[in-house]
Amino acid sequence: MHPTIETKQSQLSISSPIVGKNSPIAYGLGSFGLASLYKVFAGFYMFYYIDKLGLAIALAAIINVVFGIWDALNDPLVGFLSDNTRSRWGRRKPWLLVGLPFFVSILVMVYAVPKQFLHGNVLFWYALIIFFLFEGAYTVMDINYAALFPELFQNIKDRAHASSYYQGLTMLGELVGFAIPPFIYAKFGFIPMALSFAGVAGIILFLAIIQHKEDPIALKTPPLYLRDAFTEVLKDRPFLLFSIALTFLTFTTGVYTLATPFWVKYTIGASPQVTSLIFAIVFSVAILSVSIWGRSTRTLGIKRTWLVSVAVMIASAIILGLASNLVTGAIGAAVAGAGLGGVKVCRELIMANFVDINLRRTGHRREGIYYSLMRFIGKLSKILESLALVLLGVLFGYVSGGNPGPQPGNAFRFLISVFPLVFTCIAWLIASRISFDYKPDLSHPGSEQIK
């Protein structure tokens, strides 16, 4: 494509308003529904299969590796197909509307394990297949919904405003998805828990999806060839470094999520309802911190704000490692929530900037590819989680809920603190070497400079 044409397309795609202004609240509510549905899975699937159904932790680690590899491989494919979709309903909506029924149905099947699959090797194969299907459905939903953000909100002012609603409601969804289920499964069981979330959160997500209006200009650009689509993004070194750092932070939050039910049971020695309390503290503080982190990006800049938020995550790992009672554990959870809020706010602004810079350089919108490659690299965290589980069995002898070994309390203290501490430190070092400078065309309204 001729350079002058690319520049013209880029400016139109960034600065031209979408017909019918999109609502940040509606977008945030959709993310609320999607996040709560996923956290019902992510927060409890390992606890359910290992501690309740008796799946050996070594087999669970194998599943997690296969799950992570499949998750990584399908992300770029979904991103490429989404970017190249052309329909009267837009590029993302068809995928979201078709994928939603599959997504909520498979979530129920995760916990509604048929009796004939409850024992031995058949439980392993059932878990492997159903997690495989769930992840595929979630990839379709997550990549397409995330890719809407840079397109629906096209200048810095709108994005900063929308990001507050987006991240606040996303974390509220995560809070609900983490904190409410223990109360439901403790009284009614895991299947009613999954059914209730599939119904309520699924409806909220559906209503949000049908509200969004995509940019008609994006439909006029020619589709991308597979090689060209990925080659251009893979040359973006700051983006690749950012994705690697984000992988280590994703690993940390993933370990926190996975370990908390075990940590509450074995290390703190508390009831399942305390798991809800810990998750509630994390996400309540995260939600309350969003506006503070948003103002920080405008005063300190994105890079400094991101570095501070990662440093807060480092502090949380230290506190959780030292916790021996609920009070100290709650303090560690609050610090983790504050760091999580900053990481999430900065992530969306940084990703949107990468998309805009690429758009100005090439004339093509690659939101789907950028978000899918970020997820692809980030899914390495699943492999790291699996290695952590295996190491836990080797060092402390934990096998399953029926055979927890001689030191389950120390095992999950180690899991929730040592691994997060090491990898958040690495993430901070990587982040300190990345430039997030973004210099948009100041002749267009709303295109303020971010440093």
Q: How confident is the model at residue 129 (pLDDT cuts 50, 70, 90)?
A: very high
pLDDT at 269: 83
pLDDT at 436: 63
Which class is 23-210+225-431 in CATH? mainly alpha
Percent of the residues in the chain that have a pLDDT greater than 70, as a whole number: 88
Q: How confident is the model at residue 404 (pLDDT cuts 50, 70, 90)?
A: confident
- 367: pLDDT strictly greater than 90: no
Show Cβ contacts of residue 323 under 8 Å, excluding neighbours closer than 6 positions: 267, 268, 329, 331, 332, 413
Contact indicator for 29, 122 with CB cutoff of 8 Å: no
Task: Tell me which of 160 and 256 has the higher pLDDT.
Answer: 256
- Give domain limits for the chain: 23-210+225-431
Percent of the residues in the chain that have a pLDDT greater than 90, as a whole number: 28
Q: How many residues does the chain have?
A: 451
Mean pLDDT along residues 344-363: 81
pTM value surpassing 0.95: no
Q: Which helix (DSSP H) or strand (DSSP E) does residue 365 occupy?
A: none
Q: How confident is the model at residue 149 (pLDDT cuts 50, 70, 90)?
A: confident
Cα distances from 83 to residues 188, 265, 353, 369, in angstroms, run 42, 45, 17, 7
* CA–CA gap between residue 408 and residue 398 (Å, rounded): 6
Contact indicator for 131, 86 with CB cutoff of 8 Å: no
Q: What is the mean pLDDT of the chain?
A: 82
- 314: pLDDT strictly greater than 90: yes
Mean pLDDT along residues 242-263: 89
Task: Mean pLDDT check: name the lowest of 118-132, 140-154, 334-348, 397-411.
Answer: 397-411
* CA–CA gap between residue 423 and residue 361 (Å, rounded): 33
**By C-alpha distance, which of 209, 224, 229, 257 is closest to 416?**
257
pLDDT at 448: 38
With 0-12 / 13-18 / 19 or more C-beta atoms within 10 angstroms meaning exposed / middle / buried, residue 179 is buried
Mean pLDDT along residues 100-125: 91
**Helices in 300-379 by DSSP H: which ranges?**
302-322, 326-362, 367-378
pLDDT at 112: 93
- 1: pLDDT strictly greater than 60: no
Task: Mean pLDDT check: name the lowest of 99-103, 242-246, 362-366.
Answer: 362-366
pLDDT at 10: 34
* CA–CA gap between residue 340 and residue 322 (Å, rounded): 20
pLDDT at 226: 67
Task: Mean pLDDT check: name the lowest of 15-19, 278-282, 340-344, 346-350.
Answer: 15-19
Cα distances from 197 to residues 98, 100, 117, in angstroms, run 19, 13, 24
- 428: pLDDT strictly greater than 90: yes
pLDDT at 12: 34
pLDDT tens readout for residues 271-293: 777 888 888 898 889 888 988 88
Cβ neighbour number for residue 325 with a 10 Å cutoff = 11
DSSP 49: I
- 344: pLDDT strictly greater than 80: yes
**By C-alpha distance, which of 203, 281, 162, 159 is closest to 36?**
203
pLDDT tens readout for residues 8-55: 333 333 444 444 477 888 999 999 999 999 989 988 888 899 888 888
Q: Is 235 helix (H, G, I), strand (E, B) or coil?
A: coil
pLDDT tens readout for residues 166-223: 888 988 898 888 788 888 988 898 999 999 999 999 999 999 998 888 777 766 666 6
